[in-house]
Amino acid sequence: MNNSKTPPFGLGTFRLKGQAAIDSVATGLELGYRAVDTAQIYGNEAEVGQAIAASGVARDALFVTTKIWTDNYAADKLVASLEDSLEKLRTDHADLVLIHWPSPGGAVPVAEFMGALAEAKSRGLARQIGVSNFNIALLREAIAAVGAEEIATNQVELHPYLQNRKVAEFASSHGIAITSYMTLGYGAVLKEPVIERIAAAHGATPAQVTLAWAMQLGHAVIPSSTQRVNLESNLRAQQLRLGQEDMAQMAALERNGRLVSPEGLAPAWD
């Protein structure tokens, strides 16, 4: 796989623990997923690593993402915590390493943790680096610290009810990709009549329509599932092309419907 950019489609593992994480990743890899997203705070890096090791898929065919947790942002902690993550993942590098949330209360300056992340990349522990849950002001600080060309992506909540256009436009103007998490809005958007109508017209599922919509906007997606049928169905979203009218109807669903904004972690959203 070309590691110079983030893959448009991957497998998320948020909330998957123990055997559920192993089974989801194992099934995903068997079905053809080649990008897997995890994080230190998910508590499943070892399970993800186990599933990858057992899959027989060559490491250079995979794109593995993990995220540094807020406790490990200090310059003297970040690299060591990533090395621990890589040990759990049974690999000598991650393809992408992200800062998971802004440092609570700005305890660790953006320049410090981005510098440490750049150091991890220079040591070969990360092929690419980026951020997650950053607003425009924080993106500006990250760019000032390491340069926009060093920031592969900003992973943010983004779905038809929260399209995050200001952040997406700012990131795009600096060559930074957006990775959409919660693309299906915890399943809420799958019951949206507009999406159901578009799906029926294309002989597709509402999930496929929603994932295809995000990818056509240029965003990467990382849906998760424990069900083989859903993992297989989601994968087929890559073949679906929506028309201009479909995209316009999807755009009109914006309602600032944010689902994830943990107190003490979330920035002042744009």
pLDDT digits (tens, 9 = 90+) for 73-119: 999 999 999 999 999 999 999 999 999 999 999 999 999 999 999 99
What domains lie within the chain, and their CATH numbers? 11-187+217-238 (3.20.20.100)
Q: Which helix (H) or strand (E) holds 195?
A: helix 193-202
Q: Which residues contact 130 (CB under 8 A, 6 or more apart)?
A: 6, 96, 97, 98, 99, 151, 152, 153, 154, 155, 176
pLDDT of residue 1: 29
pLDDT of residue 2: 28
Write down the residue that tokens 């897997």 correspond to.
36
Average pLDDT, the chain: 97
Asked if 112 and 78 count as a contact pair (C-beta separation under 8 A), the reply is no
Question: In percent, how much of the chain has pLDDT > 70?
Answer: 99
Token representation of residue 9: 């489609």
pLDDT of residue 65: 98
- The one catalytic residue in 33, 42, 73, 161 is 42
For 161-209, the pLDDT digits (tens) are 999 999 999 999 999 999 999 999 999 999 999 999 999 999 999 999 9
pLDDT of residue 270: 96
Nearest CA-CA partner of 112 in 155, 84, 142, 90: 142
pLDDT of residue 198: 98
pLDDT of residue 3: 35
Write down the residue that tokens 């017209």 correspond to.
201
Q: Quick check: 137 pLDDT over 60?
A: yes
181 flagged as catalytic: no
Amino acid identity, residue 241? R
pLDDT of residue 5: 83
Give the torsion sign (CA, 1, 128, 141, 83): positive
Tell whether pTM > 0.85: yes
Measured in degrees and rounded to the nearest 5, phi and psi for residue 149 equal -65, -15
In angstroms, the CA 25 to CA 36 distance is 8
In angstroms, the CA 2 to CA 67 distance is 21
